[in-house]
Chains A and B, each alone.
Chain A
């Protein structure tokens, strides 16, 4: 297929996934903010939200102090913020429109309908009336977009490049989430002192799980109270947890193999190596060596894979 077409499909999928993950993060912060908690604690959550996407400087330049309403507006509808939900959905739709002929009618109409609807919801104040429902809607449109592509598209390169985009983006987003949320806990996160802290911890860790639809999965897998190292294990190493780094990298490797060409062997090797490290990784070892360092390195390598995929397939010289 045309390199440019593959490029648009890849980015269409990435932006759709990014919009979903932003909605997930916002939703959890919003739900948490409805619980009784100190302003300081709430602020930590919103700050985390901004630092995940490396948007703190842009936000502060525009709005100054971190204030929940403003962060939500900034992350949902601010067109000058390239990571806002609106910007992501626009980019997804523009990429889809550029190659609408390569999508099935259903896949294109899903993207287009999402775009028309999000504009309506932001125009009519639906979002402000019920942010929770809005975030839920964004997530479901992303589910629909993935389901429609997998359910209607020929299983050829077009689909493989879209899947590649989805899972590379997801690997990136989950890693950022874990990094920020584990970082947010300044104290030693292995065991809280007071009862109050324990309560806080429960909401903190369960909110991370909820943001990746992992709360019920956690209970099912570990049959245990929520413990940080197990949360990390689930989100990083479990191959059967659909939003974990390991599961995402499995899909990246698999889809990369499907589109391999004459010049992509090094990219495949690097992706395979990264996947293997997760496959044979051990959470205690990772934590002992420093989670932040591990995740920073992981993000760099995902970023490198993105650049290589681009050079090998999407924007060849």
Chain B
């Protein structure tokens, strides 16, 4: 199968890059051959950097990340001093660069896709036109654990449900040969990672300022501004000057750094469930000067935990009575309750049809071909070809509950086969995509590692985003799993302005 790299037009057959496992210092330009145009300046620059300098920069970056406390928590794990649960997400020094034209197309595709998905969620909780049109079986909606009957008929501001969407995109070979961008997954509930996108950029500008004068890299640091604009635009009509807050599960949550970071950057309060209460069908927070009304909650707490009266009764992370206030239109939740109905893996195959149905347009971004095990024909194919496929649990996330056929042992395949046969509707399968690679600084030097991209799409009065997103990289050789919970790292993502 053809392999694509971001920096090189063609990787040597064994998958190694020319400057793998050797000093970069003093490499002549002729050694860095086959570089794609938009990487040429960078590759020449990289070839001139002594290896010690790059190592020193990497250590500097790690030291800064520790000091700033850019960490994520791992449940049940211990730090090296045995005390805590905080880990650094590995940061790679080599940027992922995307040419302007490729990004412009991707951006159009993202606007289109997220617009259609929001229309779909609205439809699910109202007329269900798409079912009436025969494009989607009703069972796919009502049988979905993420479908929230409480949301049926509820009016939400601007009819937007997923205000913040993270769309996972990979670059891989198309059927006809050349590389193409595919959407791997839509994250419409509480996607995270945007703080790493911002911190990675800050770090790169600090470590390598000269590169930013050699390249015109589209800025991303205004993301918190766009986010605040989006949240304010989503406020209920009961107020002209809405009070926005970020709701976090607390400092032991894996994404706590991001919650605190975004609240601070937007200049709004970071609240926990215990800080909120409901009175007379409005939500208030407890302040040093008495109760203060809250109009928009950017919640980073899952549906299940939002309101112990409506969902899990044991939850202490939410606010009792919140759902009623929300249904009455007296507070806005971003994202809305019940968006999960549109982002699980059994709905994913229908997204191209949604785009045509709601917008009357051809999809700009491709879906990965997907076999739905609920269909007997497709199930048969999946069971016969498991060692070539990636099989995913419909509700799995974070790289859990999935089988990468080519990398799995016979035992693992058999185990999954039994699971799929027992509950076919709980699984989908996709061909093993050869995700593109990008040169990455690893222990032995520089080597290609697989990457993906998560742009963050904001829907308020309009759909907008900052150029690029978070590039995640699988640091293990050959691995296709980029999730930070599975040892993935991140890279700065450069969208070129020319």
A residues apposed to B, CB below 8 Å = 1-6, 90, 94, 97-102, 105, 108-109, 112-113, 116, 119, 123, 157, 161, 259, 261-262, 313-314, 316
Contacts and interface: CB of A to CB of B under 8 A. Distances in A.
B52 to A, nearest CB: 24
30 contacts: A1-B269, A1-B287, A1-B288, A2-B269, A2-B275, A2-B286, A3-B275, A3-B288, A4-B271, A4-B272, A6-B288, A94-B251, A97-B69, A98-B251, A99-B260, A100-B260, A101-B260, A101-B270, A109-B67, A109-B69, A112-B67, A116-B66, A116-B67, A119-B83, A123-B81, A161-B288, A261-B289, A262-B289, A314-B288, A316-B286
A4 B286 contact: yes
Contact of A101 (B83, B264, B274, B289): B264
Nearest to B267: A101
B261 A3 contact: no
Contact of A2 (B66, B68, B271): B271
B260 A4 contact: no
Contact of B288 (A101, A116, A261): A261
Interface string B66-86: 111100000000000101000
Contacts of A3: 275, 286-288
Contact of B290 (A4, A119, A262, A314): A262
Indicate the member of A4, A123, A314 with the most B CB atoms within 10 Å.
Answer: A4
B285 interface: yes
Contact of A112 (B68, B260, B271): B68
Contacts of A100: 69, 260, 264
What's the interface size class on B, roughly? 20 to 34
A288 B271 CA distance: 52
A108 B69 contact: yes
B316 to A, nearest CB: 14
Given A3-B288, A112-B67, A262-B290, A119 B81 contact: yes
Contacts of A116: 66-67
B263 interface: yes
Given A261-B288, A261-B290, A101 B271 contact: no
SS class, residues of chain A in contact with chain B: helix
A101 B269 CA distance: 8
Contacts of B272: 4
A206 to B, nearest CB: 38
Nearest to A105: B68
A255 B68 CA distance: 29
A2 B81 contact: no
Contacts of B261: 101
- 4 A-B pairs with the lowest CB-CB distances in the bound complex, closest first: A101-B264, A101-B260, A101-B263, A313-B288
B290 A2 contact: no
B297 to A, nearest CB: 14
A277 B307 CA distance: 51
Interface string B47-66: 00000000000000000001
A164 to B, nearest CB: 11
Contacts of A259: 288
Nearest to A120: B81
B81 A4 contact: no
Contacts of A262: 289-290
Contact of B69 (A5, A112, A119, A261): A112
B194 to A, nearest CB: 15
A100 B261 CA distance: 8
